[in-house]
Amino acid sequence: MEEYIQKVLTILLLLWNWLVGTRLETPYPDLLVEIYDLPLTRIFLLGLVILSGVWCESVGLMLGFAFVCLGADVIFLTS
């Protein structure tokens, strides 16, 4: 069951990264952009990336890529 959850999460995060993270014309959800402004949220997201990487490397990699894309797009588009 755990392997199935890992595969499903990896595929969902891969689709998220492909459809949202790699295209500037596809906007992130407004709530996600607004809460990214809070340092505590970024620390929480980084902790989530680390914990998911300990649990499953592929999920951690996809979540880390999503985190980096979110940060880069928010910084790029707001400056």
Per-residue model confidence as pLDDT tens digits over 54-74: 999 999 999 999 888 888 877
Cβ atoms of 14 and 59 within 8 Å: the answer is: no
What are the residue ranges spanned by the domains of the chain? 2-78
Model confidence pLDDT, tens digit, residues 8-59: 999 999 998 898 878 877 777 888 878 888 889 889 989 999 999 999 999 9
pTM: 0.81
Query: Helix or strand or coil: residue 32?
Result: helix
- pLDDT in the model for residue 6: 94
Six-digit token pair at 60?
């951690």
With a CB cutoff of 8 Å and minimum separation 6, the contacts of 76 are none
CB 10, CB 56: distance < 8 Å: yes
C-alpha to C-alpha distance for 20 and 63, rounded to whole angstroms: 13
